[in-house]
Amino acid sequence: MKEESKCADPSVTELPGVGPARAKLLAELGVETVKELLQLSPLRLESTGTSASCAEAAAEVGAVVQIKAEVVRTRFFRRGGKQSVFTAFLKDSSGTIEAHWFNQSWLRESVLEGAKVTVAGRVGLTKKGKPTLVVPRIGNEEKPLPAPDGWEPVYPTVDGIGQGLLRGLCRLALKSGLELTERVPHELLDRLELPTLMEAARVLHEPNDLALFSGARRRVAFEACLRMQARLQRRVRGDVTGHALVVERDEAQHEAILNLLPFTLTGDQARVVEELRLDLARSTPMRRLLQGDVGTGKTAVAFYALLAAAKGGGQAVIAAPTELLAEQHFSVLSPLFKQAGVKCQLLTGSTPGRERSQLLRRLASGELQVAIGTHALFSDKVKCKRLAVAVIDEQHRFGVAQRTRLLEKGRDVHVLLTTATPIPRTLALSIYGDLDVSVLKEKPPGRGKVTTRWLKKSDGARLLSFLSERLEAGEQVFWVAPRIAAESEERGAIEAHARLSSSSLASHGVVLVHGALDASLRQERLAAFRAGESRILVGTTVIEVGVDVPQATVLVVEGAEHLGLAQLHQLRGRVGRGSGDSWCLLFGKESAAERFELLEGTNDGFEIAEEDLRRRGMGDLDGLRQSGGGIDPEEDLDLLLAARDVVATHPALVEAYLADEAMNEKELSP
């Protein structure tokens, strides 16, 4: 690192090997400076493997081991397409063991017979019951494996930033000599049994003692809690004024917007709309989180905000996490905007270049009033003349950094975030710190009931006749497989589609959608499904968020054990949107029985989230965990509460944190 930057908080680009491209990816992890890197919490630690002989390893199925051995023979087996298995037979003086890798055909050239290798991984069993190393890591002289019997951090990553790179960078950051300032009084740290921030960073990035890891992670989380609470204080003190567009309350306008909707708002929707109207009528930018279970009608509330902004003389954007959902919002909302005389356009990653540049021009000139899109809307190229409202739909699906970027960009913009991830309200309030929260609990009236059943493989034939009955009655079917293509014995969406297309149900029209499809094809197929021309939609979990087709009454999920509780609940939200009864039918392994039974027992997302919390922590709410800067809402609840007390009793600490933020803002803004 360069000498002069030692005292401040240098950008990550000061680290060797980090150029602008990597810096951008790191920013997605919320890391822009070296100090932020030092405070990046690993998700967990991974064993580097207990040092073992081949015989010891073979006797310890389930263990993570590290073995030095000779490759006596290899075998390569292609299953068709890109599917392949590479096997190495390893031997040392104690005995032999196999190792398997899937779809890594290049290993044929690097793992050769007679070679001496070090491999580290978990011992599993082959189908025939022989012990095998499952996809172990391989070390050689150039790239040795980390020493056995130790620990390695596993960081949150994004595409393009691997574990190896992050580990290296974090170690470099430790060596840089940069010290993290400790602002928390020592007696307080002692009371909470937390190390100092710098001690914590050392433990996190160069762990050698599992027992210290949890305290270190909590110290970093505590820092995030403190910062958040400091920001909250500032807001409470009214330091945030801002210059957001004031949308005056106008009763005629209000009625006109409501009249555009094809239904009457539920009591909950009407209440939230009132909250929105109050927010929009102030120059303090709105920061509101709208939390509502799947199907509670968040889109209508978002639509209100968008149209009110446009009618009030501003521009408005809504960003959805998938192209599919953005396309759906566009097809549902654009006719309403048109009726209201408001210009509206779609912007996603698939928008053709010419259309895109025209749209960007129209946004910049202020002619275009509403843009509906994906994270493409966050791009630096998107400049609005007078952006008044930004809605981030299903906000937990966006990266922390994307969301932050939008909030930064829109310092003077009213922001509405929506989420279907139901979290207990109290936690939401503390975690989001400086957000106001609105909750939609009530579902629109006249919905049929949704029955959930966990099926056995042997129910397959009965299922087919049940589906045929539903289809004959004019209803439609979602069929979900977690993967696009097959992997080992697991079927993917492509295979499911092929199978259904040659079944007795084929005449009802079977279409396939997944993330790797061309956008226009996907839109075409979804439109056909929506119109009822194709009545069975096979897909991956791309349909999880928001796809809204009321006449679909049956959802079948294969390989459901791969999906978390919250995700399954979201998927289930695809049915039960019409007045008829609906079914959610799950095929999945015994290992996830508890999850399936819970879903069979309740349709209430809040109950599911709370039960999930009780059973196994916030596993499914990872997005939330990330958005809290490494805070684990369950384990760290005491820290959140402690942070609240600390900022209340240590005004100097608040000032110090706010001064840090002000510095950062200055440094980071161009």
Q: How far is the CB of 538 from ligand ADP (least distance, A)?
A: 21
Residue 598, classed as helix, strand or coil, is: helix
Distances in Å between the alpha carbon of 510 and those of 323, 343, 499, 517? 21, 35, 10, 16
CB-closest chain residue to ligand ADP: 297
Rule CB under 6 A: is residue 522 a binding residue for ligand ADP?
no
**Residue 407 CA, distance from chain mean position:** 18
Contacting residue, 292, 482, 492, 633, with ligand ADP by CB under 6 A: 292
Rule CB under 6 A: is residue 269 a binding residue for ligand ADP?
yes
Q: How far is the CB of 560 from Mg ion (least distance, A)?
A: 22
Q: Which of residues 621-640 bind ligand ADP (CB under 6 A)?
A: none
CA distance 199 to 195: 6
Contacting residue, 548, 600, 604, 634, with ligand ADP by CB under 6 A: 548
Go through 607-640 and write b for each residue having 16 or more CB atoms within 10 A of its CB, e for each that does not: ebbebbbeeeebebbebbbbbbbbbbbeebeebb
**Partner interacting with residue 156 (select from Mg ion, ligand ADP, none; CB below 5-8 Å by kind):** none
Query: By CB under 6 A, which span of 148-156, 263-271, 395-403, 518-526 interacts with ligand ADP?
Result: 263-271
Query: By CB under 6 A, which span of 184-192, 257-265, 317-325, 375-383 interacts with ligand ADP?
Result: 257-265
Site string for ligand ADP, 20-49 (x = CB under 6 A): ------------------------------
Taken in order 27, 33, 39, 40, the sign of the CA dihedral is positive
DSSP single-letter state for residue 490: B
Q: Which CB, 304 or 596, lies closer to Mg ion? A: 304
Query: By CB under 5 A, which span of 57-65, 545-553, 593-601, 636-644 interacts with Mg ion?
Result: 545-553
Q: How many residues bind ligand ADP (CB under 6 A)?
A: 20
Rule CB under 5 A: is residue 321 a binding residue for Mg ion?
no
Q: How far is the CB of 259 from Mg ion (least distance, A)?
A: 22
CA distance 222 to 628: 11
Q: Which of residues 392-431 bind ligand ADP (CB under 6 A)?
A: 420
Contacting residue, 10, 42, 156, 297, with ligand ADP by CB under 6 A: 297
CB 468 within 8 A of CB 322: no
Rule CB under 6 A: is residue 207 a binding residue for ligand ADP?
no
Taken in order 477, 478, 481, 484, the sign of the CA dihedral is positive
- Residues in the chain, overall count: 670
Q: Which CB, 328 or 345, lies closer to Mg ion? A: 328
In sequence order, what DSSP letters do the residues of 162-229 get, joined into one string?
-HHHHHHHHHHHHHTT------S-HHHHHHTT---HHHHHHHHHS---HHHHHHHHHHHHHHHHHHHH
Q: Which CB, 225 or 300, lies closer to ligand ADP? A: 300
Rule CB under 5 A: is residue 546 a binding residue for Mg ion?
yes
**Partner interacting with residue 542 (select from ligand ADP, Mg ion, none; CB below 5-8 Å by kind):** none
Residue 460, classed as helix, strand or coil, is: helix
**Partner interacting with residue 295 (select from ligand ADP, Mg ion, none; CB below 5-8 Å by kind):** ligand ADP
Query: By CB under 6 A, which span of 367-375, 545-553, 595-603, 657-665 interacts with ligand ADP?
Result: 545-553
**Partner interacting with residue 570 (select from ligand ADP, Mg ion, none; CB below 5-8 Å by kind):** none
Residue 393, classed as helix, strand or coil, is: coil
Go through 59-77 and write b for each residue having 16 or more CB atoms within 10 A of its CB, e for each that does not: eeeeebbbbbbbbeebeee
Q: Which CB, 156 or 546, lies closer to Mg ion? A: 546
Site string for ligand ADP, 435-464 (x = CB under 6 A): ---------x--------------------
Q: Which of residues 276-315 bind Mg ion (CB under 5 A)?
A: 298
Rule CB under 6 A: is residue 118 a binding residue for ligand ADP?
no
Q: How far is the CB of 256 from ligand ADP (least distance, A)?
A: 17
Q: Which CB, 433 or 546, lies closer to Mg ion? A: 546
Q: How far is the CB of 16 from ligand ADP (least distance, A)?
A: 46
Q: Which CB, 99 or 440, lies closer to ligand ADP? A: 440
CA distance 229 to 206: 29
Distances in Å between the alpha carbon of 579 and those of 227, 446, 475, 552, 617? 47, 5, 11, 11, 35
Q: Which of residues 70-129 bind Mg ion (CB under 5 A)?
A: none
Query: Residue type for 354, please?
Result: R
Rule CB under 6 A: is residue 577 a binding residue for ligand ADP?
yes
Residues contacting 436, CB < 8 A, separation 6+: 275, 279, 286, 287, 288, 289
- Write out the two tokens for 412: 């003077």
Q: Which CB, 49 or 546, lies closer to Mg ion? A: 546
Query: By CB under 6 A, which span of 6-14, 24-32, 70-78, 260-268 interacts with ligand ADP?
Result: 260-268
CA distance 13 to 140: 30
Spatial CA neighbour of 545 closest among 344, 305, 299, 302: 299
**Residue 486 CA, distance from chain mean position:** 23
Q: Which residue has the tokens 């009249």?
A: 259
- Write out the two tokens for 307: 């149209």
Spatial CA neighbour of 569 closest among 292, 324, 268: 292
Contacting residue, 132, 176, 266, 582, with ligand ADP by CB under 6 A: 266
- Write out the two tokens for 576: 């039960």
Q: How far is the CB of 298 from ligand ADP (least distance, A)?
A: 4
Taken in order 333, 337, 338, 342, the sign of the CA dihedral is negative
CB 413 within 8 A of CB 389: yes
**Partner interacting with residue 297 (select from Mg ion, ligand ADP, none; CB below 5-8 Å by kind):** ligand ADP
Q: How far is the CB of 569 from Mg ion (least distance, A)?
A: 14
Binding residues for ligand ADP, rule: CB under 6 A, are 263-266, 269, 292, 294-300, 420, 444, 546, 548, 550, 573, 577
